[in-house]
Amino acid sequence: MSIILFSELNNFIIYNTEYYLKNKNYSEAFKWCKYGSEQGIVELKYELGLLYIRGYGIKKNFHKGLQLIEDSSREGYLKATKKITINILLLFLIFLYNIYINLFIIF
């Protein structure tokens, strides 16, 4: 019985978070994401990280946001892992582009 109640509570938390995100009420979405993250819902830990990075509903904090996304990735949330991988690849491409541009300046 407690497993069912736990699952229903998680669904309720996720539903409320999605509702407030959809309606762009970021201060309420932040509260629900934070609560869900504290309850161990990795999807909401990821969303909380995005809210911190974007500064929606909370003061911008890139470091804390990235840490939350990394944590959700370590906990097995595939969307977070993809986000980190894509950002690493983009940084690598920017790095290669800068090398390429500098080669033309030198020669």
For the cut 60, the answer to whether the pLDDT of residue 2 exceeds it is no
Tens of pLDDT, residues 22-81: 999 999 999 999 999 999 999 999 999 999 999 999 999 999 999 999 999 999 998 888
pLDDT band at 1 (very low <50, low <70, confident <90, very high): very low
Taking the C-alpha atoms of residue 40 and residue 42, their distance in angstroms, rounded to an integer, is 6
